[in-house]
Amino acid sequence: MPAHRWGSFCGFFLAFGLATFASADGVRGISPDGKEGWLHTVDPGDTLWDITETYLGSAWIWPSVWKDNGEIPNPHQISPGDHIWITEREMRRLTPEEVERIRFTDTDAESLPAATDADSQTDGADPSAAEPAPAVYDPFAALDRTSRDLQQVIEFPGLHRMGFLSPTEEQGSAAVLGSHDENYWASQERRTVIGIGEGRVHVGDLFTVFRTRRRVDHPLTGETLGFLIDRLGTAEVTDIHEESSFVRIVSSYSEIEPGDRLIPFEAEPKEFVTVYEGEPREGIVVGMPLHRQYALRGDVIVLDSGSDAGLVVGNEFEIFRAGKEVRDPVTAAKTLVPDDVIGRVVVLKTTSTSSLVLLTEAQRPVSVGDHFRSL
């Protein structure tokens, strides 16, 4: 089951739930080890409890992410001017030298105040004179956030087990031919033969073995948009001959048999960052999960638009059933019934004319013929 996390690459996980990323005054940056995060300058009255809730969505997790518990036994003793580095999995106080090594990606970084260093303060100086003014609460601050602030990262680790191929990709794939062994089926670490020979393959090449499961036709035009497939495993070329080659089954999720097909291996992502383009897109749902006539939350379905229409991985759409005119039973006048929004999807993969999407929300079952549009 997939899980969600909200925020600019920061989040707090719930079981297929949502954690809201609060608006924050920190400065975005990248640490010397390549981690993205936020640099927060402590204001008077700040505590680790407040900071954790603001940046990571829940105050309760601060003991598990704070990496400086030995130096700050009481979270209320952090000092104004301290710099706190915050990433998805940790929070810690930085020295002035560490602050200088942060590569900032926010234009506000130029106005970043210097970090407080207790050893460099002048004796007799009034520390309150350097304290920044308390931030003014703005209940409408969330309305000013940009799409970058609202990025969502969706985890879906199951794409390596399924897929969607265009007709050209499916027809151009090679086949598993079998083996000299008595066993009809092949599985992990077994040797088998594929129908690709010299000049078309190299030793060490990896292929995904798949089985075609369902043809997807457009419900209005009848055009074949592609094929839903099961990914059965991965094969590595070990020995090449004139018209065929031996492969070793590196991994398998199911038995592999003669007639199963091969496409070049491509590692599938497990995380998908939402993309907000502002361009209006719309179309209809054309494909359901294997052996099903409807889809529910967590299912993967097919839309009738792809890269040719501008769709990219990470696009989000709402699923709806279009309203129609009905006759008012009292006045007999024709009345337009509003659209019924029933779900939400994110694009996992595209072909030129279609897209494989994850149903992240579903108030009711989704069926072929339901519509989608940009949020």
| Pick from 53, 111, 135, 110: nearest CA to 86 | 53
**Domain boundary residue among 230, 264, 298?**
264
155-211 pLDDT tens trace: 888 888 999 999 999 888 899 999 888 778 888 889 999 999 999 999 999 999 999
305-331 pLDDT tens trace: 999 999 999 999 999 998 888 888 888
* Claim to verify: residue 363 and residue 290 sit in the same structural domain: yes
* Claim to verify: residue 228 and residue 248 sit in the same structural domain: yes
pLDDT: is 368 or 104 the higher one? 368
CA dist list (Å): 157 to 2, 88, 261, 272, 348:
7, 19, 23, 10, 11
pLDDT: is 125 or 343 the higher one? 343
* Claim to verify: residue 294 and residue 337 sit in the same structural domain: yes
The answer to whether position 269 is within a domain reads no
* Claim to verify: residue 169 and residue 115 sit in the same structural domain: no
* Claim to verify: residue 33 and residue 140 sit in the same structural domain: yes
The predicted structure's pLDDT at residue 184: 81
pLDDT: is 148 or 161 the higher one? 161
The predicted structure's pLDDT at residue 193: 95
Q: Measured between alpha carbons, how far is 236 from 255 in angstroms, rounded to an integer?
A: 16
| CATH, residue 225 | 2.40.10
DSSP string, 45-59: T--HHHHHHHHHS-G
* Claim to verify: residue 226 and residue 111 sit in the same structural domain: no
* Claim to verify: residue 255 and residue 179 sit in the same structural domain: yes
pLDDT over 80 at 71, yes or no: no
**Domain boundary residue among 148, 169, 200?**
148
pLDDT band, residue 103 (cuts 50/70/90): confident
Q: Measured between alpha carbons, how far is 225 from 301 in angstroms, rounded to an integer?
A: 13
- The whole-number average pLDDT for the span 250-255 is 90
| CATH, residue 338 | 2.40.10.410
Amino acid occupying residue 24: A
Distance of CA 81 to the CA centre of its chain: 35
The answer to whether position 337 is within a domain reads yes
**Buried residues in 325-334 as b, exposed as e (16+ CB within 10 A):** eeeeeeeeee
**Domain boundary residue among 126, 148, 170?**
148
- Residue 137 domain boundaries: 20-148
The answer to whether position 4 is within a domain reads no
DSSP annotation of 246 reads E
The predicted structure's pLDDT at residue 119: 40
* Claim to verify: residue 243 and residue 285 sit in the same structural domain: no
pLDDT over 50 at 5, yes or no: no
* Claim to verify: residue 280 and residue 349 sit in the same structural domain: yes
Q: Is the dihedral of CA 274, 275, 279, 282 positive or negative?
A: negative
pLDDT over 90 at 61, yes or no: no
Give the count of domains, the chain: 3
The predicted structure's pLDDT at residue 185: 84
pLDDT over 90 at 243, yes or no: yes
The answer to whether position 59 is within a domain reads yes
pLDDT: is 46 or 281 the higher one? 281
